[in-house]
Amino acid sequence: MSTRAWIRCPDGGKQATASSVPSAAQATVFTAEAPVSISVVIMDFLLIPPTWSAWSAWLSNITEFSVKNFKIDVMFALECDLPGCEPPPEGRDVPPQPRSDSGADRIDLVLLDVGGPIYDDTPYRDALLRAAGELAAEDGRSIDEAEFQQVYDRHRQAQGGSLRTAVAERFLTPPDRQRLSDRAERYWEYPPSALHGDVLPTLQQLTERYRIAVVANQRAAVLDALRRDGVADYIDIWAVSEIVGAEKPDPRIFQHALREAGVEPKNAVHVGNRLDTDVRGAHRVGLRTVWVVRGEAPPEPTPEQLAEPDVAVFSLAELPAALERLQEAR
């Protein structure tokens, strides 16, 4: 009795032997009378078995084994000497299968912002306040935190323009914007406590079905926080502005993620918490959008604002259902 497995990797040019097929799957696959080939399309969990009853339990095992590492497809050539799994007669019915991978409504890739959806935006707000306070003190002035919060909230409500520019114009001078930005970056980091509690459970759920990309206006140092907090384990594609050389809403940062994933815009969804950089920027590239209304999202979103994204949610825990609704809508 023997089992051979060929894994077709994303680059299409490599073959590797899979020696670690789960034992639970082996117990099921060793039911074929003769060598049998079966196809598994991991992205949509489409299984075409010789007989459905013999392979239904095997589906969950093999997708868990393969989906995170390969994401494309796997062809297993099986050999064993046990009876009970002859190919079905021609025309025999099999149970309905999941959606195929040819529909225009299919979602293959989820693009995810960092500040807001993953981490609380408060550390960025605090870094900007600290930097503005230091620069103002150098000129013998001080900043009232309550007034700073008013500027911050007005900016959130407006969903347009640069917060750094608004702070510099109100508390410093317009030419001080770059100094403010550089100073704030010294203090801008996410502690473990800033990670939203719904992030890891949601990512674990999403990664069973989609590839995930980070698309964020962030310094490269954010990667350290994402690795520390276990988020990076679920990410397949990285598009961080300091590394890519473009910031949202620049189309290039979205296009970088799409190109790295080999996915067309119609098969991807961007998830972010700002209308100007996330929702409008992604729409211009042809992406569908989910607006996460927290962090730098408006304190009181208007009906007009809520109508801009394809779907609006108020926590990341709502994202899996939102993605389902997007697929059903087309």
Phi, psi of 217 (to 5 degrees): -85, 90
Phi, psi of 240 (to 5 degrees): -100, 130
| Amino acid 104: pLDDT | 59
Residues 6+ apart with CB under 8 A from 40: 46, 47, 59, 62, 63, 66, 73, 74, 75, 76
pLDDT tens track of the chain, all 330 residues? 233 332 333 333 323 233 333 332 332 222 223 333 333 322 222 333 333 333 333 333 343 333 233 232 333 333 333 344 333 333 333 333 333 344 557 999 999 999 999 999 999 999 999 999 999 999 999 999 999 999 999 989 999 888 899 999 999 999 999 999 999 999 999 999 999 999 999 999 999 999 999 999 999 999 999 999 999 999 999 999 999 999 999 999 999 999 999 999 999 999 999 999 999 999 999 999 999 999 999 988 999 999 999 999 999 999 999 999 998 887
| Amino acid 103: pLDDT | 53
CATH topology of domain 109-120+192-329: Rossmann fold (3.40.50)
Between CA 190 and CA 225 the distance in angstroms is: 7
DSSP label at residue 302: -
Cis amide bond preceding 249, omega within 30 = yes
Between CA 55 and CA 280 the distance in angstroms is: 45
| Amino acid 165: pLDDT | 93
| Amino acid 329: pLDDT | 80
H-type alpha helices, 191-265 = 199-206, 222-228, 241-244, 251-261
| Amino acid 177: pLDDT | 92
Q: Where are the domains of the chain?
A: 2-79, 109-120+192-329, 122-187
pTM greater than the 0.75 cutoff: no
